[in-house]
Amino acid sequence: MNNEKAFHLLRNPLLNKGSGFTAEERQAESLEGLLPTSVETLETRVGRASAQCDACPDDLARYVYLAHLQDVDETLYFALLISQPDKYMPLVYTPTVGDACLKFGNIFRSTRGLYLNLDMKGRIESVLRNWGETDVRFIVVTDGSRILGLGDLGANGMGIPIGKLALYSAAAGVPPQFTLPIMLDVGTDTQEYIDDPYYLGAKQARPDNDTYYEFLDEFTEAVQKVFPGCCVQFEDFNIHHAEPLLEKYHDKFCMFNDDIQGTAAVATAGIYTACRAKGENMSNQRILFLGAGSAGCGIGDLMAQAMQSEGLDKETAYSQIRLFDINGLLTKSRADSLEPFQRPFAADHEPTKDFVGMIRSFKPTAIIGVSTVHGAFNEDVMKAMCEVNDRPIIFPYSNPTSHSECTAEEAYAGTNGKVLFASGSPFPELEVNGNKIEPSQGNNVYIFPAMGLAVYATKAKRVTEPMFLTAAKALAETLTDEELNSGLLYPPRDRIREVSAHVAAKVAENIFDENLASVDRPSDVSAFIKEHTYVPSYAPHEA
């Protein structure tokens, strides 16, 4: 090819500017004639992309359009997302990503990231080296075994790492060239996908635990060799593997599990702001969970730590938190059948499956749903919560929207507008007692991108539990009194970059305090974070 360099520029999404290349760049890079005559600003291209996205017939089509845009021009893609975060983040991640993962094989256009399968066992290190960028700072990895609340989607779950990393850059400013989505394609136990001619993954059942953990060990060791200093975010692993993998690896290299730790931080932040609204402390709260998987127990653990930070002893803190699973209340009589991470929450109580009865006897100030059981927080639950609280805290946190324990409308109606509400999925604005209410969404996007920016800037050696408690407190600080009085428990997403900067700076301070940074502590941590924040720009191309 006579003009290989020019075509490389136009086909590399990190370098391509399309009609944004200047006349000088077009001449210098032999791009003349390959582009329309007009030289456009990034703002003009964002306007066109916005109109094109709006013209798509539904949200899934908009997801596909945005994925194509990311494949063509990442600067434009991120500039568009940042221009209206509240509009575009639900399209690139929850709730739309759930539908996209269900149909991933059908909507697939081009590959992004790496797929590692069991046939590569013994040579994962060499496969990782096939990735073009050698300086990878962030990997989001899944095995597709528990995608959102949708179950085992196998390789279709690749939409999750792709979406998460897009939010790292859009919400907090982690430079996209340093990120890598990875799918551990170890098969699926969902026969529907094995039979689907368009399914993109390995058409085989998931392996036994010994094979699985050997594969994970090789993967994590290879990452540390190929991308030293990289932080790995584990995402959407099932209950049997998520907590054990976190326990196994958290002290060995820089990693965390967002479903457990990120969800815990954002939920804890919501309780902190609810406490502000009620004029109470975290240590005053009694919290009842519906759902006792890794997410529920992770939230409970961090809330217990928050209570201990206010003076409660460990035993008292855990006694103020109770969890239900499919078999009812976690009790000491069930201890032998519980996972190790569930046992601290086993109550000295007779077995019961009566969630409403537990509300009346335990008198929780808050209920949190991580069960994926749609409608579980029904009228009886609302009534019972109002019997024991003037202002009940109700958090249906399950994703996607179709799996939420209740809707915002049901929560406000069932409590006569008294509820302090936050959900995992977005709900539309509604009118309550003559006032417009924007239901709060406790989305992990308030935590993991900021955590990523702090780790990226400081080159942190580890991610620790105190960092997540710091992040929760920092997030709660960002809510203004006006926003709190309007019924919000989380700041509006149109302030996400500002909020992420504050959370990242606080987490970075914690990293420096714990001596986990690989760089010297600056005199102004907030300014330091700002210096490391990616801002989309058609900067002059360097030959």
Of 142-146, 205-209, 437-441, the range with the lowest mean pLDDT is 437-441
Percent of the chain with pLDDT over 90: 90
Residue 423 host element (H or E)? strand 420-423
Residue 87 host element (H or E)? helix 85-92
Does residue 542 register a pLDDT over 70?
A: no
Q: What is the pLDDT of residue 216?
A: 98
Told to judge if 93 belongs to the known catalytic residues of this protein, a careful annotator would answer yes
Does residue 366 register a pLDDT over 90?
A: yes
Residue tagged active-site, from 77, 88, 93, 538: 93
Q: What is the pLDDT of residue 149?
A: 80
Residue tagged active-site, from 17, 164, 418, 506: 164
Q: What is the pLDDT of residues 282-334, one digit of tens each?
A: 999 999 999 999 889 999 999 999 999 999 999 999 999 999 999 999 999 99
| Confidence band for 487, pLDDT divided at 50, 70 and 90 | confident
Owner of token pair 């060499």? 126
Does residue 346 register a pLDDT over 50?
A: yes
Q: What is the pLDDT of residue 192?
A: 95
Query: Which sign, positive or negative, has the C-alpha torsion 495, 496, 502, 505?
Result: negative
Contacts of 529 (CB under 8 A, 6+ apart): 453, 454, 457, 501, 504, 505, 508
The β-bridge partners of 180 are: 139
- If phi over 0 gives left and psi between -120 and 50 gives alpha, with beta otherwise, what is residue 30? left
Told to judge if 77 belongs to the known catalytic residues of this protein, a careful annotator would answer no
Strand 179-185 and strand 255-257: the pairing is: unpaired
Does residue 68 register a pLDDT over 70?
A: yes
pTM equals 0.94
Does residue 543 register a pLDDT over 50?
A: no
Structural domains of the chain ordered from first start: 4-85 (1.20.1370.30), 91-253 (3.40.50.10380), 447-531 (3.40.50.10380)
Q: What is the pLDDT of residue 2?
A: 58
Helices (H) and strands (E) in the chain, counts: 24, 14
Question: What is the C-alpha to C-alpha distance for residues 147 and 160, in angstroms, rounded to an integer?
Answer: 8
Q: What is the pLDDT of residue 541?
A: 54
| Confidence band for 435, pLDDT divided at 50, 70 and 90 | confident
Q: What is the pLDDT of residues 462-481, one digit of tens each?
A: 999 999 999 999 999 999 99
Q: What is the pLDDT of residues 377-392, one digit of tens each?
A: 999 999 999 999 999 9
For the chain, give the mean pLDDT: 95
Cβ contact 316:283 at 8 Å: no
